[in-house]
Amino acid sequence: MPLEEYFAINGGNELFGKVELHGAKNAVLPMLAAGLLTKEEVVVKDCPYITDVSNMGRLLAEVGANVLFDGRNIRVRGQACKGALSHELEKVMRSSMFMLGVLIATVGEVKLSLPGGCKIGARPLDIHLDGLSKLGAVCEEKDGVVFCHAKKLKGAKILMRYPSVGATENLLMASVLAEGKTTLVNCAREPEIISLVELLRKMGAKISGEGTSVIEIDGVKELGGATVKPIADRIVAGTYLGALAVCGGELVLNGIGKNDVRSTLFAFQNRDFQVYDDGLSLRARATRRKRYDELSEQLACDVITGPYPLFATDMQPVVCAVKCFADGVSRVKETVFENRFSHLFEMKKLGADVVIDKDTALIRRGDLYPGDMIAKDLRGGAGLSVFAMGIKGESRVYGAKYVDRGYENFEENFKNIGCDIRREPVKKC
């Protein structure tokens, strides 16, 4: 259970050191699913050691693929032989949805329970299912279970009502083996999608337009093996930058550049927060002044989440944490998920000055003090941890297992750069 462990964080330390960034969770997971589109071997390199990645490997093995974890490289070989997935794995990770596109394209059928993961909003699959239906699949949902089957997929023009990242990726993977041409309109444009297309193209897919709102796919009869290294995790990078913004110090993030975290830097950058980029790594410095409120006064700003290239919703909880140290009022508007402010209620318990009005939060620094907080989801847990790092004294963030879904060795990596943090089990009565 997620509340079996917590992070004990004694905040107030400055952060110094180097951080190695590995493949992005949101790029690696669909890439691994794409390994089912061929009988040949697909190798995804530099994968992070996180629970979502290990669970995805278990899902692929369950439907018939051979999956080998070779250090940070994951090798997937062999197409699926069945379309039914384990309910136990589905309910703990949203990424089981990536099996929709690949199983329809290869096995011709799929049965899965509505995916689990973080409870941050409705997150329906209607855009996925509507697109698959236009490709020729018969889709229905009953009692929380999705059934899809198709004898043959045929290319089509698909207009998505919203630029959903997951739906764009699912429809990409379904259409590469469909007969004829598919045009996806109002696509998501995230860098992780471009990374997926890089893999599919290496496998022999014919795709153009990635990174724009219109992607065209000419279906091929079969795909081959490939090896690819995904982009680095911009959300993990942004989390380190958020911690630096509230703690002060200097960090070098290897494997990422300014352009990868441009919107995050907009939220954090000020005269006391400088960032330098050599193309291979990013160096960030936050100067903590003698009067800490002089630094925090520079941090207030307005943020609106939205589809790329707007501000990433996954970074919103970390931004909220940083804004809790600002004297000026920051406005954070969440437009992607309707239930993604649970972390703010926990921050309020520790003195944060927060007012929530529907989809908008007004945030400024209150009289902050250490205490206990409960994470309800992955990114919220990261945001609460960053918040605790800026408060002198020991705080506890319950729900460490949520954070493990997207952050590798969270406490050890932060300890290595100066944070006083440890993982503790919840004592049973």
Give bridge partners of residue 207 from the DSSP assignment: 217
Give yes or no for residue 305 having a pLDDT over 70: yes
Active-site option among 118, 139, 148, 419: 118
pLDDT value at residue 90: 59
Read off the pLDDT of residues 233-284 as tens digits, 9 standing for 90 and up: 999 999 999 999 999 999 999 999 999 999 999 998 787 889 999 988 999 9
Token pair of 147 as six digits: 């059934």
Give yes or no for residue 161 having a pLDDT over 70: yes
The answer to whether 65 and 71 have CB atoms below 8 angstroms apart is no
pLDDT value at residue 122: 42
| Confidence tier at 120 by pLDDT (50, 70, 90) | very low
Domains and CATH numbers, the chain: 2-21+232-425 (3.65.10.10), 25-228 (3.65.10.10)
pLDDT value at residue 385: 98
Query: Do strands 5-11 and 393-398 pair parallel, antiparallel, or not at all (unpaired)?
Result: antiparallel
- Find the mean pLDDT for residues 315-331: 93
- Which strands make up the sheet holding 15-20, listed edge to edge? 15-20, 249-254, 281-286, 273-277
Read off the pLDDT of residues 17-26 as tens digits, 9 standing for 90 and up: 999 999 999 9
Q: Between the ranges 30-34, 98-102, 365-369, where is the mean pLDDT highest?
A: 30-34
Token pair of 32 as six digits: 């691994």
Q: Which residue from 359, 349, 352, 305 is spatially nearest to 329, judged by alpha carbons?
A: 352
Rg (CA), the chain: 22
pLDDT value at residue 295: 44
Give bridge partners of residue 260 from the DSSP assignment: none
Q: Which residue from 185, 31, 175, 205 is spatially nearest to 104, judged by alpha carbons?
A: 175
pLDDT value at residue 121: 42
Task: Supply the pTM of this predicted model.
Answer: 0.94
Question: Would you call 311 helix, strand, or coil by DSSP?
Answer: strand
| Confidence tier at 429 by pLDDT (50, 70, 90) | low
- Output the CA torsion sign for 17, 391, 52, 399: positive
Which amino acid belongs to residue 247?
C
Give yes or no for residue 159 having a pLDDT over 80: yes
The DSSP-derived string for 25-63 is HHHHHHHHHHGGG-SS-EEE-S----HHHHHHHHHHHHT
| Measured distance CA(192)–CA(232) in Å, rounded | 9
Give yes or no for residue 1 having a pLDDT over 60: no
Q: Which residue from 371, 226, 392, 382 is spatially nearest to 319, judged by alpha carbons?
A: 382
Read off the pLDDT of residues 195-243 as tens digits, 9 standing for 90 and up: 999 999 999 999 999 999 999 999 999 999 999 999 999 999 999 999 9
Give yes or no for residue 330 having a pLDDT over 90: yes
- Find the mean pLDDT for residues 363-387: 96
| Measured distance CA(408)–CA(49) in Å, rounded | 5
Active site residue 187: no
- Find the mean pLDDT for residues 61-65: 93
Give yes or no for residue 289 having a pLDDT over 60: no
pLDDT value at residue 141: 85
| Confidence tier at 298 by pLDDT (50, 70, 90) | low
Other Cβ atoms closer than 10 A to 98: 26
Give bridge partners of residue 353 from the DSSP assignment: 364
- Find the mean pLDDT for residues 115-140: 78
Q: 309-334 burial string, b = 16+ CB within 10 Å, else e? A: eebbbbbbbbbbbbbbbbeeebebbb
- Find the mean pLDDT for residues 345-367: 95
Give bridge partners of residue 149 from the DSSP assignment: 109, 138
